[in-house]
Amino acid sequence: MSNDDIAGYLQMLDVLIRKGRIVDGTGNPWFNGDVGIRNGIIEKVGHVNAEAGEIINATGLFVCPGFIDSHAHSDFSILANPLAESKIRQGVTTEVIGNCGLSAAPIKRERLDLLKKYVEALTKEIKLDWDWSSVGDYLRRIESGGSSINIVPLVGHGTTRIAVMGFENRVPFSDELEEMKGLVAQACNDGVRGLSSGLMYPPGCFADKTELIELLRVVAKYGGIYTSHIRDQSERLIEAVQEAIEIGNEAGVPVHISHHQAAGMESWGKVRNSLGVVDKARDGGIDITVDVYPYTAGSTFLSIAIPRWAHEGGVDELIRRIRDPETRFRLRTEIENDPSCGLGRAWDPENMMINYCKKNKVLEGKTLAEIARSKGKDWIDTMLDLLVEEEHAVGMVVFLMWEEDVCAIMKHPAAMIGSDSSAVAPYGVLGAGKPHPRAYGAYPRVLREYVMNKKVMTLEEAIKKMTSQPAQRFGLCKRGLIKEGAFADITIFDLDKVKDKAMYAEPHQYAEGIEYVLVNGVIVIASGEHTRAVPGRILRREVS
């Protein structure tokens, strides 16, 4: 090329980000520079002297790769609102969905009602057509409506098991196992990047190691990963971590432990031991990582507090058992006395805040203990009655963790950040309930609370854990870095202003300080406002 040709080429830039402090995602110190973008790709990093269709003045702002949410649950909400408001406005450009064993597919029509009733506390007010069967059908459904963020799909073990076995509490018959393996293979061919399990939830809790290993051997053939909401996060935390490692090692796949934590005061401090197990495994050549969200409260179904055997058969059978006086007495006794029930001693009704009810909206934002006192009942009767009245569709925020544990996990070299939330919005069907604040503020909170205030990590370390580290974990080639040739997923923020505003009592508040967000080179957030662009892509694993 002549000098004139080169000058003309540079003038064809679509977007030029000028004079930003670039945190490139590698963990290296930030540097001053420009970023030139053309056709969705970063063309030039450094000093860029060119014209562009859009010029962003990033003076005084930090420019980094778009945040990659390594553990998300927007499987259904992205169909209801493709703008992904609460996520893109906190700088998230890519989400890994299908976590905790729950994906939107595969489904079989004869058992679809079992899945629909079970996930109603997740889908809330969203009206779905459920007009898909395979993972491929479902992903094409997302593509038909567009998305403001990129989507990385996993296939859920629980959803797969429901399609074949419903909520049966037993080992699968040989033909059932083969059918599940076939569905997993189909999902891998459709582009999922691995299989997730939710071993604290039905029906995942009914599965043994052998079943999971057999399914994951299918995943191994496609170079996929195993992510797990492990079987126990309190009394048996160490054993649960070891089980996940054994499953992945025997199947020949990398292991990723979801939202690592020690739940309940009696278990606080155990993460030092569990992270030691991770270190030992890595020292022995086992590829294992974890993610963590920056809060001491989690969020889940209220029904997780019910002994797992009672969930056999699905929601209708659970409700029938609660209504039966003899079975209800057994449930009460186990909840009171058996540490293996639900989360065992981790439960405290004073720390269980109802955040979604299908019918009793007035209860949202109140603890189970407060509701019990208002009704003149004990908390167990109150919980059981509420599950019956709401037909299982009750969600809660539960305060379980110790801040020192959160910090210890966050600092660990094998840890990355995940929100464990779906994309929501303060309006429309996604404005239902009081979602955990992490849906709106997880990533700005890391920057404000754990970088600026508590100094748990440097800015560069935090950005790495939110960008290149999850990109590497999930095989996202050319994402998670500010470098020439990478896809232009970029977040630009004001470190002095960035903060999460969402609170447990009033969660529907967007984060502040995220000034610009680009997805595949398209500006989605400009001066803090959504442009309504939907340039996101399904980031399928290529199958050779």
pLDDT one-digit tens code per residue, 84-95: 999 999 999 999
pTM higher than the cut 0.85: yes
pLDDT at 1: 42
Cis status of the peptide bond prior to 106, with omega within 30 of 0: yes
pLDDT averaged over the chain? Answer: 95
Q: Say if residue 5's pLDDT is above 50.
A: no
* Contact status, residue 393 vs residue 356, Cβ threshold 8 Å: yes
163-171 average pLDDT score: 98
The sign of the CA dihedral 262, 268, 271, 276 is: negative
pLDDT at 321: 98
pLDDT one-digit tens code per residue, 193-252: 999 999 999 999 999 999 999 999 999 999 999 999 999 999 999 999 999 999 999 999
Q: Say if residue 83's pLDDT is above 50.
A: yes
Phi, psi of 93 (to 5 degrees): -110, -15
pLDDT at 142: 98
Segments in 45-156 forming alpha helices (H):
77-80, 85-88, 112-118, 120-123, 135-145
pLDDT one-digit tens code per residue, 145-164: 999 999 999 999 999 999 99
Sheet bearing 394-399, strands edge to edge? 297-301, 394-399, 352-357
Name the residue among 201, 459, 223 with its Cα closest to residue 311. 201
pLDDT at 290: 98
119-145 average pLDDT score: 96
Residue appearing with tokens 């059981």: 384
pLDDT one-digit tens code per residue, 16-30: 999 999 999 999 999
Looking at residue 398, what DSSP letter applies? E
323-354 exposure pattern, b = at least 16 Cβ within 10 A, e = fewer = eeeeebeebeebbeeeeebbbbbbbbbebbbb
Q: Say if residue 3's pLDDT is above 60.
A: no
